[in-house]
Amino acid sequence: MSVPTVPGYPDYTQAGTNKNIPWAFSKKTIIKFYDSSVVPQITNTDYEGEVKGQGDKVVINTVPDIAISKYQKGSTINWQLAESPAVELTVNRAIQFAFKMDKIDMHQFLLKNYMDICAQDAAEQQKIYIDTEYLGAVYADANAYNKGIAAGRKSGAYNLGTTASPVAITKTNIIDLLINLGGVADEQNWHEANRFVVLPSWMAVLLKQSDLKDASMTGDGRSTLRTGRLGMLDRWTLYGTNLYTSVFDTPNYCYNVLFGHKSGVCFVSQMVETEYFDKLETTFGKGMKGLQVYDWKVTKPESLGVLYCYKA
């Protein structure tokens, strides 16, 4: 604490010549908050264990559509060849981290587990990187019936927004819009389990501010306004994230809000290598590096949709 002194009084701090008052370094680090990761919750990872390195290919068999026709007595049967093309998932994405510390610094640090703390941060940063990339790209593969101003495979009755014509979201209309997404899903015959909507944080706030008085709508035993928990709404599992990348669509910043069913996208990720170096070759110190490969494939575009919207 720098307290003023009268002229001529000795300066005992580290800034003076005596240096009798030491600096105090904490043995704890400031808590770091991370954005939550949603990709593992909204995709299927059935083939993750089969991926060993970047460039690996996973061949996924699909189920054919069996044709149904009317039968008349004495008619000739037309046999269908039960076949369906396989889907190939090639892993072409990879990220890395590498950090080092000089041995003198490590010896003088009070935090002897500083390398472990950095490794934990690297793991969190990998999740953030992948989520940001995924949410900024996968929506483009959504089925044409699950987006746009005339969404709905049978009715075309749902306006989910499009470029130059985004949907304005308010606390008054947000519940109706989420229920409309359920209509789009129903017309694609999605299973009711494992449906999801990934809300940008501002949209989650509007939902909490909406007229959400019936706690049973979110599957919560108490009011959503009291718990802050999004939970379930009309068969949707609601997730919140800060990792959407907005699109400037004059004069608004718009978001491609993803909704879908877990069957729609196959996601694979493999930590190929994590290596700790107790002795670096080119300097006196320790280091750590890691390599992760990952990728995704939209295997069922009909199980993926997008709401193009902005905060009104």
> Which tens digit of pLDDT belongs to each residue from 166-191?
999 999 999 999 999 999 999 999 99
What would the two tokens of residue 214 be? 């019936």
Task: Pick the closest to residue 184 from 307, 308, 44 (CA basis).
Answer: 307
Note the Cα 90 to chain centre separation in Å: 20
Let me know: does 269 contact 203? Beta carbons within 8 Å.
no
CA dihedral 56, 243, 44, 238 (to 10 degrees): 180
pLDDT of residue 40: 86
Taking 50 as the pLDDT cut, the residues of the chain under it are 24-26, 28-29, 215-216, 223-229
pLDDT of residue 160: 98
pLDDT of residue 57: 74
pLDDT of residue 45: 79
pTM score, whole prediction = 0.79
> What residues form DSSP beta bridges with 271?
292
Residue ranges covered by each domain of the chain: 29-312
pLDDT of residue 308: 98
Q: For residue range 64-113, what is the model confidence (pLDDT) as tens digits?
A: 788 888 888 888 888 888 887 777 788 889 999 998 888 777 776 666 77
Distance in angstroms (rounded) separating the CA atoms of residues 180 and 172: 14
